[in-house]
Structure 1
Amino acid sequence: MTATQIPLLEIALPVPLRRHFDYLPPADMSPEQLAQLVPGVLLRVPFGRQQLVGVLVAVKSLSEQPEHKLRAAFGVIDEQPALSPELLELCSWAANYYQCAPGEGLHTALPALLRQGEQARLRGEPVLRLTTEGKGLPEGALKRSPKQAALLAALQQRGQLALRELSELDIPGTIAKALIDKGLAQKIEVTPDSGVQPATLLREPPLLLSDEQRPAFEQIQYHSFNTYLLDGATGSGKTEIYLQAIAETLKNGKQALVLVPEIGLTPQTLQRFQRRFNLPIVALHSGLNDRERLDAWLQARAGIARIIIGTRSALFTPLKEPGIIIIDEEHDGSFKQQDGFRYSARDLAAMRAHRLGIPLILGSATPSLETLHNAKLERYRYLRLQARAGNAKPPEIELLDIRGETLHEGFAQASINAIGDTLKRGNQALVFLNRRGYAPALECHDCGWLASCNHCDARMTVHNNPRHLHCHHCDHQRALPKRCPSCNSSKLQPLGQGTERSELVLQELFPATKVIRVDRDSTRNKNSMQTLLADVHSGEPCILVGTQMLAKGHHFEDVTLVVIIDADAGLFSTDFRGPERMGQLLLQVAGRAGRAEKPGRVLLQTHHTDHPLVQTLIYKGYHALAELILQERQLTQLPPFRHLALLRAESKQAQQAVHFLQQARQLAEAIQAPSPALSYLGPLPAMMEKRGDRFRYQLQFNAAQRKPLQALLSQLALQLEAHPLASKVRWSIDVDPQDMA
């Protein structure tokens, strides 16, 4: 270490190196300005030939580099810190735990515009208000224009509407312009004010809690840390408990952070919360543009937004007055980041709530085995809801044995008849198939050739609109061949069933009924999910067909039948989490049926009606299945009874990746010899060995305790960073991996 005459700036940069970097202060910075610098401030600095935005971690006087070798920072972007001490500590802890470069971890918590060097300044927001003439209109005015009448009513009820809220109310901007042109409304710019509290927090009264909901709600304590598992059957009223817990938080003058797994759920959740609460609510998810995301982030930081709803990365939202964190569908795999900073938003939420001393609620109808295990050990408080809210009854689940049966494009005749009966009664049906596209493969009838991806160990999916072959692993696309490249036959046929094909089949079978497909392809555009689901919520008879996007938290009052086309995939997964995910997915999908007054029915097509996991799930329920899988996990020494980490390596030359991992294992064993407390497995090929022209291998670490595993990984990561092979392969460490592929 070298002592310097002037204070030095220790800065975290968005580079994949596991260390901070020392800089001299900017040349034009006065001693007074330097004395005011605090950690969390953003600065522009030189790095090689680039200019980067870095986060100040500390001001210090010692450096490993002599002063003459240090470069000066270019300047401070904003004197106010972008990251609070609380978020700085959380991100630094998380970067250490998940073995990520500290600068990459810290930059994950920043909106894109701040990472690009923009100042964190709140903008005035365009708002629509009624003029004196508009306020004087009687109720029911503008009947000839229902959209204008709806906007007028909303403005009369709320006083004002931010222009961004119009799309959430499904009101086009042209309607707002029509009211402005008539002199009934005016557009003004309002600077958000964090000090304004409405006279009433609620726009609508809370629902009366059931005899089962009330004791669960009353156990939640708001002034200390506790993790609560709200384990409630689909339709049991978990959301009402969230809403009332948030109301208690708001009464205490605090903010609420709510995480949901899918962008598609955010508008739905946002609308429900806006109907209930009379306070500013913002959404944070990848569907927003950079400016919208920064505005929402700044409103949360300033305390203007009292409720923040978002997907995984919203966990890092700064909160002026944090009061509660809620994670809905906590079991969902999307809460784990799968590249770069591989954090789990669910697990980090527990750490953040603990540090803030506030409650965390984890809600699910099918809790993850890790969460159930923690509740069993009384690390979490267990709140159970078993009955559906109101008069709704759980759906009847029927196993449909399709062995030997002639299927009509994947559909059993009993399923087709059930859909027809449902539509005749004026109800809606949901068909679940977890495969996008027209068909999972293209096959030659004469020689058996299958269309494979040139870049992956995967078959290409047939898409019909537009017609092409598409690899869903590396995104490679190509035209459908006219002849078999192996035998030159023209008899090429789609093999298997995808959502596109199911949509066409159902449209042919029920030509008078609207068929709505919901998958990644049909919901690519902004607001497309809301547009598709608007028809469902209208209540008209229709058929929904889609992937697991439909399984996550949607409330369809008129869906009384769910048909699950292929329930068998999870039974034979090579991933040890396969059976758990199968059970969660099937019950989540089944839970979309019969959520209101109408009884629900679920048909589950399977070739394995007698499989013990299927039998347990259908006749004994998810918790019996979870107990069965937990017993297997204990015997096989897998999570939650042991702790896993994966060292992944990929290269265009398979041997390079294997050699790197062999070297890594030797280094690891030199640090910590194999033992029952910490064992090694591999190098082994990944489940899909080749993807995107790269060969993928992994080395698994299995430990009885987290601490020795962390100590090993920290030392190993630094050694690997300096290893000659490290620059020739792509490598990463995944702690608590959720995807073994």
Structure 2
Amino acid sequence: MPIHTAIVHVALHTPSHSGVGDLLSYASAQPLPPGTLVRVPLGKREVLGVVWDAAEATGELPEGAAMRPVAGVLEGVAPLALPWRRLVAFAARYYQRALGEVALAALPPQLRDLQPDQLARRLKRPAKALDQDGSENAIQTIALTAEQERARARISSESGPFLLFGSTGSGKTEVYLRCVQEALEADPTAQALVMVPEINLTPQLEERFTTRFAPRFGSQAVVSLHSGMTNPQRLKSWLAAHSGAARIVLGTRMAVFASLPGLKIIVVDEEHDPSYKQQEGARYSARDLAIWRGREQGAKVLLGSATPSLETWHASRPPTPEDPEGGRYVRLAMPSRIGAGALARVRRVDMNQQPRRAIFSAPLLAAISERVARGEQSMVLLNRRGYAPVLHCADCGWKSDCPHCSAHQVFHKTDRTLRCHHCGYTVRVPRACPTCGSPDIHSMGRGTEQLEEQLGDLLSEVLRPDRTPARIARIDADTTKAKGALEAQLAQVHAGEVDVLVGTQMIAKGHDFRRITLVAAVQPDGALFSSDFRAPERLFALLMQAAGRAGRDAAYMAAQGTQCEMWVQTFHPQHTVYEALRKHDYEAFAAQQLKEREEAAMPPFAYQALVRADARTQEVAQGFLTAATAAAHAAGLPGLDAVTLFPPVPLTIQRVANVERAQMLMESGSRTALQRFLAAWQPVLQATRSAPEHKGLVRWLVDVDPLVI
């Protein structure tokens, strides 16, 4: 038997809020450096862990105590570096999660399952040779505009972090490429991390980066990391990044935890997008962690957006006499489009003056018809998939409610189903009302399926220049389920095989459509009067991003002799959101919103956290939060005097999959006070859960800096 001479402290993914502790101790036959990946026993299982602290000599154990030995070491994988461990430790501490949970979630799923011998065999497989040695091939670049060059020069000479505030079509991606190129050429071991908000934006960005950098560094030097990849693909990309073989990592929010020992630059494209905030497990913000990681690792951080989040916009405010220090970010403006292309002209249609129940106004339909007849493309945006949000019985008032959620089942006409978009419960559409038997069942509201169908009818007589009928396509979560479906549909749009593209927000962000000259938002008003104080910000960003899909190719627009347009059908044409959109005036919109936020003491002028509770009944969920609040006051927890705790309330959709959900909001003018209180409250929450009256509690979690309240 081996003689165990050292104790190692290992981070494991233990059950959430189990009270086991962040680190467990194991005996090792030899000292293991921090960051080493090991297989260790946990209960009856054997799991992956990360050695966190330096090994220490085995001491005397308490009588009757035994220390279980490390089962194996994953040889061939270099220990995870200190900057990576510090990032994980900060994320766990700030977002109030267990250290091992964050650490193991940041590693590829397949790595957690491989035994040391299996990993050793995988690492022995011959790697594909790089297709270029990179020694003589120059990177082919394009000339920068004056605005792009000014931004690049400041990024090169200053430390940042930077906000690249560029209008849609201003060439932000080219600035990213040039800054990454400078970092890689300056240091042969340098690595770059480039993040995008959604998976569907990764392939086109990967193609662009590969085209630019493969001739110099080889195609294997550019890898992707996102949840749409298979587990073997993710492991391969992670190992390439961890070893330094991958010079550029492209990915979604999970990529912020990639092991990049040579990290020199981080790019966060469309930094305003809420997709950067994880909504399950450890609810971290990848954008905020990117800022923290860049500072800790000495890497430059570049945030890019045409519609920055108000938090980022406020953090990048320039110094003024009233605020001599200004923000902590450097704001770089690029207001002009490449090739002197014009921004879309915004036209508002007052739907109060249109026929009742009209989906498309006559002026908008005429404008789309004209574009089709000229061979141009149009895009119609409705952020609701399905045919209709609900079915309704005119006789008894029955609605297609989900039996497991406090939400409606959405009518999908394509496959004649009613589908809950929250729990996935699906049934066939009934032939008659399930309550009264009446056959008079109607759809209420509209989804992208209905828009596609209506346009097919309304444009049936409209012919393209080659005298063929108009071609309409739809892109949403329903049409892109199959592997490769999204790429195939986008390729059709780029090839000009689609005249009118209907879709959800999936089509509004980041895509470089060259022939779209008209964009229309048909039902955007729902967000104007939401209880969520961030709803106007999100709506404005979505519409500005959508407007940016039109007229991106200045040469094409000049050849067509037309002007790109953004049409907005609304019952509130004078609303401040639409007024600012008409002028493409993000700065005025942001100033107005920030003034309201400051008066109401809301982020970014205050800090928030939520505690959410899921239970079998709403009474148990709210009872747990009420009891935990009382316990916090009784204990006089540190920081409580600077934190406001609001009463618990049900979530907007309070029941999902037969689980009731409640939450309570906390606010503070001090981030430090809020963090100090949350850290002290964790054991109180755990103890409160153990009380008999909370037996029906399913789970609870803390959400720091929530985006949805």
- Give the TM-score taking structure 2 as reference length: 0.89
User: C-alpha separation between the residues in 2 aligned to 1:459 and 1:64?
Assistant: 62
Match of 1:95 among 92, 95, 119: 92
Q: Which moved more, 1:529-538 or 1:54-63?
A: 54-63
* Equivalent residue, structure 2, for 1:251: 185
Q: Which residue of 1 is the match for residue 163 of structure 2?
A: 229
Q: SS at 1:390's partner residue?
A: helix
1:302 matched to 2:250? The reply is no
Preserved contact between residue 562 and residue 592 of structure 1 (Cα < 8 Å): yes
Instruction: Report if the CA contact (8 A) 1:437-1:464 is conserved.
Output: yes
Question: What does residue range 503-514 of structure 1 map to in structure 2 within 5 Å?
Answer: 503-511=452-460, 512-514=469-471
- What is the 5 A alignment of 1:216-365? 216-221=151-156, 225-253=159-187, 254-277=190-213, 278=215, 279=217, 280-365=221-306
In structure 2, C-alpha distance between the alignment counterparts of 1:409 and 1:250, rounded to whole Å = 55
Which has the higher mean CA deviation after the structures are superposed, 373-382 or 6-15? 6-15
Q: What does residue 418 of structure 1 align with?
A: 367
458 and 420 in structure 1: CA distance in 2 versus 1, 3 angstrom threshold: same
Q: Deviations over 1:473-492 (max 9, x none)?
A: 12111121121123321111
Write the deviation string for residues 189-217 of structure 1: whole angstroms up to 9, x where unpaired: 64456994342241x3x222212222111
* Residue deviations 1:165-210 (CA, integer Å, cap 9, x gap): xxxxxxxxxxxxxxxxxxxxxxxx64456994342241x3x22221
**Is the contact between residue 405 and residue 412 of structure 1 (CA under 8 Å) also seen in structure 2?**
yes
Task: Decide which of 108, 111, 115 is 1:114's aligned counterpart.
Answer: 111
1:169-188 alignment runs, 5 A limit:
none
Which of 33, 39, 50 is 1:38 aligned to? 33
Aligned counterparts, 1:315-714, within 5 A: 315-376=256-317, 377-406=326-355, 410-511=359-460, 512-597=469-554, 598=557, 599-619=563-583, 621-669=585-633, 670-672=635-637, 677-714=642-679
Instruction: Classify 1:493/1:65 alpha carbon distance in 2 versus 1 (closer, same or farther; 3 Å).
Output: farther
Kindly state the Cα deviation for residue 228 of structure 1 after the two structures are TM-superposed. Answer: 0.2
Structure 1 counterpart of 2:65, one-letter code: K
Q: Secondary structure at the match of 2:538?
A: helix
Rounded to whole Å, the distance in 2 between the matches of 1:122 and 1:379 is 48
Q: Does 1:23 align with 2:19?
A: no
| AA matched with 2:612 | R
Equivalent residue for 2:148?
213
Deviation readout 1:255-303 (Å, 9 max, x if unpaired) = 1110001111101101111222222211111111111111111111222
Q: Which residue of 2 aligns with 1:152?
A: none
The residue type paired with residue 369 of structure 1 is L
**Inter-CA distance 67–316: structure 2 relative to 1 (3 Å threshold):** farther
Whole-Å separation in 2 of the counterparts to 1:39 and 1:674: 34
CA deviations on 1:60-84 (whole Å, 9 max, x unpaired) are 4699983743441341231444522
User: How far has the Cα of 1:596 moved from its partner?
Assistant: 0.7
Q: Secondary structure at the match of 1:25?
A: strand
Is residue 93–residue 99 contact of structure 2 (8 Å, CA) maintained in 1?
Answer: yes
Is the 2:26–2:70 contact (alpha carbons within 8 Å) kept by the matching residues of 1?
no
| Equivalent position amino acid for 2:617 in 1 | Q
Structure 1 residue identity aligned to 2:26? L
One-letter code of the match for 1:337? Answer: Q
Aligned partner of 1:736: which letter? D
3-state SS, counterpart of residue 531 of structure 1: helix
Gaps of 5+ in 1: 127-188
Q: CA RMSD in A?
A: 2.4
Tell me the distance in 2 between the aligned counterparts of 1:260 and 1:625.
24
Task: Select between 232-241 and 456-465 the one with higher mean Cα deviation.
Answer: 456-465
**Matched AA of 1:76:** G
Query: SS of the residue aligned with 2:523?
Result: coil
Q: Distance in 1 between matches of 2:519 and 2:419?
A: 28
Q: In structure 2, what residue type is equivalent to 1:625?
A: F
Equivalent position to 1:47, from 42, 50, 56: 42
Corresponding residue SS for 1:682: coil
Whole-angstrom distance in 2 between the partners of 1:81 and 1:594: 49
User: What CA distance in whole angstroms lies between the structure 2 residues aligned with 1:43 and 1:190?
Assistant: 24
Q: Decide whether aligned partners of structure 1 residues 626 and 125 sit closer, same or farther in structure 2, where only a CA change above 3 A counts.
A: farther
SS in 1 for 2:245: coil
**Which of 661, 680, 686 lines up with 1:721 in the alignment?**
686
Deviation at residue 642 of structure 1 after TM alignment: 0.4
Note closer, same or farther for the CA distance 1:45–1:576 as it changes in structure 2 (3 Å cut). Answer: same
Identical-pair percentage: 39
* TM superposition shift of 1:539: 2.5
Paired with 2:415 and 2:57, the residues of 1 have a C-alpha distance of 62
Distance 1:236 1:99 in 2: 39
Q: How does 1:128-147 map to 2 (within 5 A)?
A: none
Q: Secondary structure at 1:235's aligned position in 2?
A: coil
**Which deviates the most, 526-535 or 5-14?**
5-14
Match of 1:143?
A: none
Q: 1:122 to 1:559 in 2, by over 3 A?
A: farther
Query: How has the CA–CA distance of structure 1 residues 190 and 115 changed in structure 2, closer, same or farther, with 3 Å as cutoff?
Result: closer
Amino acid across the alignment from 1:77: V
Q: Show CA shifts across 1:346-393 (max 9, x none).
A: 000011110111110000000000000100132000001111111311
Q: Tell me if the contact between 1:661 and 1:699 (Cα under 8 Å) persists in the aligned partners.
A: yes
Distance 2:596 2:519 in 1: 30
Tell me which residue corresponds to 1:133: none
Residues 1:574 and 1:196: Cα distance change in structure 2 (over 3 Å): same
Residue 68 of structure 2 corresponds to which residue in structure 1? 72
How far, CA to CA, are the matches of 1:115 and 1:298 in structure 2? 13
Output one character per residue of 1:21-47: Cα deviation in whole Å (capped at 9) or x when no partner. Answer: 433325xx3xxxx12x11222222222
How far apart are the structure 1 equivalents of 2:708 and 2:700?
16
Q: Which amino acid aligns with 1:550?
A: I
Which AA in structure 1 matches 2:625?
L
One-letter code aligned to 1:731: W
1:167 aligned residue: none
Task: Say whether the 8 Å CA contact 1:439–1:495 is kept in structure 2.
Answer: yes
Asked if 2 retains the 8 angstrom alpha-carbon contact of 1:324 and 1:359, the reply is: yes
Answer yes or no: is the 8 Å Cα contact 1:467–1:480 preserved in 2: yes
CA contact (8 A) 2:316 2:330 kept: yes
What secondary structure is seen at the aligned counterpart in 2 of 1:403? Answer: helix
Measure the CA separation in 2 of the matches of 1:538 and 1:433. Answer: 23
Q: 2-side partners of 1:67 and 1:191: how far apart?
A: 54
Report how far residue 57 of structure 1 moved.
1.2
SS state at 1:525 partner:
coil
Amino acid of the structure 2 residue aligned with 1:641: F
Partner letter of residue 508 of structure 2? A
Does structure 2 conserve the Cα–Cα contact (< 8 Å) formed by 1:677 and 1:705? yes
Offset at residue 338 of structure 1 (A): 0.4
